[in-house]
């Protein structure tokens, strides 16, 4: 089992209040991603769960037991860091088995578990190599292997892929997701990377300034963001926001429309008029950055190639089904 519950978790460093009352229910076996801007408290919250920091208030329950006074090694969690934290003088075999050796397991049992983990992670040919003889992706797999053999209640990942190049990140992202599903072990994963969050998570926690803004599945956050912050944070390019008279729709102070929900028409077709300031042609997509006068800059996305260029006049017509409305406090209006 690996069910993790946070109840009003608080953390201050000296006078500075960093985590401002986090409540969260993480189901056994689920993959939960913490996202949010730099400094919002993602790593701090993960370290509190790991026991690497003490809470200033509240409870952390693992399978129903409050662990705030339990030392990290006794919480049954395994952490995987961005820096891998491998021992350079030890072989892959030694690194993966290190925690088990420290725990005093018999040698043949350690070997069996290390070899099974190495097979799962495609590391069998490298068991006798040293970390410096491995690629970045292989090193990261060793770090994950070390976490797996301990058979934890949950994996805690702190930006584990951020040292890898773009192509390898995509490959490892898929591997980590597949592995977590195969093992069925609860995972909490901290990242800056929206695409990682959207593709890996069963549920995403959006943090901002030490508070949880929303907790939900990737599609819930995309389709029904709770407030302006989540609406602006999830989705790339960002949602367009329009305020003022042209936004006044059934009590809304602001309306939001994602770039992919603006239909691009020739000038005069209704909607919002503007001049293309920049057109990006990616082949698969066309992004238009449109100067819409008093409404500001609007971004529109077209799937496929669109032969439009800077200086062309266009109408951007919002899909009425996909307009998000927000009150003057920034909270989403429904219905």
Binding site for ligand ATP (CB under 6 A): 13, 18, 36, 38-44, 192
Alpha-carbon distance 292 to 294, whole Å?
6
Q: How far apart are the first and last CA of the chain?
A: 39
Least distance in angstroms from the C-beta of 145 to ligand ATP = 25
Closer of 189 and 241 to ligand ATP (Cβ) = 189
Alpha-carbon distance 177 to 179, whole Å?
5
| Short-list 227, 245, 255, CA closest to 322 | 255
Helix/strand/coil for 94: helix
Least distance in angstroms from the C-beta of 200 to ligand ATP = 17
Q: In whole angstroms, what separates CA 46 from the centre of its chain? A: 13
Closer of 198 and 288 to ligand ATP (Cβ) = 198
Least distance in angstroms from the C-beta of 82 to ligand ATP = 9
Least distance in angstroms from the C-beta of 13 to ligand ATP = 3
Helix/strand/coil for 86: coil
Least distance in angstroms from the C-beta of 275 to ligand ATP = 37
Closer of 213 and 255 to ligand ATP (Cβ) = 213
For residue 190, the surrounding DSSP H or E stretch is: strand 186-190
Mark 113-141 as b/e (b = at least 16 C-beta within 10 Å): bbbebbebbebeebbeebbeebeebbbbb
250 neighbors 241 (Cβ within 8 angstroms): no
Alpha-carbon distance 68 to 78, whole Å?
16
Closer of 42 and 258 to ligand ATP (Cβ) = 42
Least distance in angstroms from the C-beta of 191 to ligand ATP = 9
Mark 265-275 as b/e (b = at least 16 C-beta within 10 Å): eeeeeebbbbe
Torsion angle of alpha carbons 243, 248, 254, 258, nearest 10°?
Answer: -90
Closer of 17 and 150 to ligand ATP (Cβ) = 17
Closer of 34 and 155 to ligand ATP (Cβ) = 34
Least distance in angstroms from the C-beta of 272 to ligand ATP = 35
Closer of 42 and 153 to ligand ATP (Cβ) = 42
Burial class (CB in 10 A: 0-12, 13-18, 19+), 309: exposed
Closer of 19 and 316 to ligand ATP (Cβ) = 19
Least distance in angstroms from the C-beta of 152 to ligand ATP = 21
Least distance in angstroms from the C-beta of 264 to ligand ATP = 35
Alpha-carbon distance 326 to 75, whole Å?
42
Closer of 3 and 194 to ligand ATP (Cβ) = 194
- Residues 6 or more apart whose Cβ sits within 8 Å of residue 216: 203, 204, 224
| Short-list 234, 236, 259, 232, CA closest to 316 | 259
């Amino acid at each position: 089992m690996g069910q993790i519950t946070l109840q009003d978790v608080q953390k201050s460093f000296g006078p500075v209040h960093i985590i401002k009352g986090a409540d969260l229910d993480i189901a056994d076996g689920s993959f939960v991603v913490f996202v949010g801007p730099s400094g919002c408290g993602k790593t701090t919250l993960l370290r509190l769960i790991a026991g690497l920091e003490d809470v200033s208030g509240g409870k952390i329950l693992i399978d129903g037991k409050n662990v705030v006074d339990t030392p990290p090694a006794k919480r049954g969690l395994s952490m995987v860091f961005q820096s891998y934290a491998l021992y350079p003088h030890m072989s892959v075999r030694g690194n993966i088995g290190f925690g088990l050796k420290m725990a005093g397991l018999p040698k043949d049992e350690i070997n069996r578990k290390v070899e099974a983990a190495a097979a799962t992670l495609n590391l069998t040919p490298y068991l006798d190599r040293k970390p410096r003889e491995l690629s970045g992706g292989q090193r990261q797999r060793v770090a994950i292997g070390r976490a797996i053999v301990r058979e934890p209640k949950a994996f805690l990942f702190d930006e584990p892929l951020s040292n890898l190049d773009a192509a390898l990140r995509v490959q490892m992202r898929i591997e980590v997701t597949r592995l977590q599903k195969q093992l069925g072990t609860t995972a909490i994963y901290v990242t800056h990377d929206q695409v990682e969050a959207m593709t890996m998570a069963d549920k995403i926690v959006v943090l901002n300034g030490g508070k949880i803004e929303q907790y939900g599945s990737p599609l819930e956050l995309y389709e029904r963001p709770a407030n302006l912050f989540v609406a602006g944070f999830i989705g790339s390019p960002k949602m367009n926001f329009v305020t003022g008279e042209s936004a006044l729709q059934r009590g809304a102070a602001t309306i939001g429309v994602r770039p992919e929900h603006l239909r691009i028409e020739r000038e005069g077709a209704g909607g919002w008029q503007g001049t293309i300031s920049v057109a990006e042609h990616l082949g698969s997509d066309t992004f238009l950055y449109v100067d819409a006068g008093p409404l500001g800059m609007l971004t529109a996305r077209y799937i496929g190639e669109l032969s439009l260029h800077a200086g062309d006049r266009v109408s951007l017509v919002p899909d009425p089904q996909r307009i998000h409305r927000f009150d003057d406090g920034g909270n989403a209006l429904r219905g």
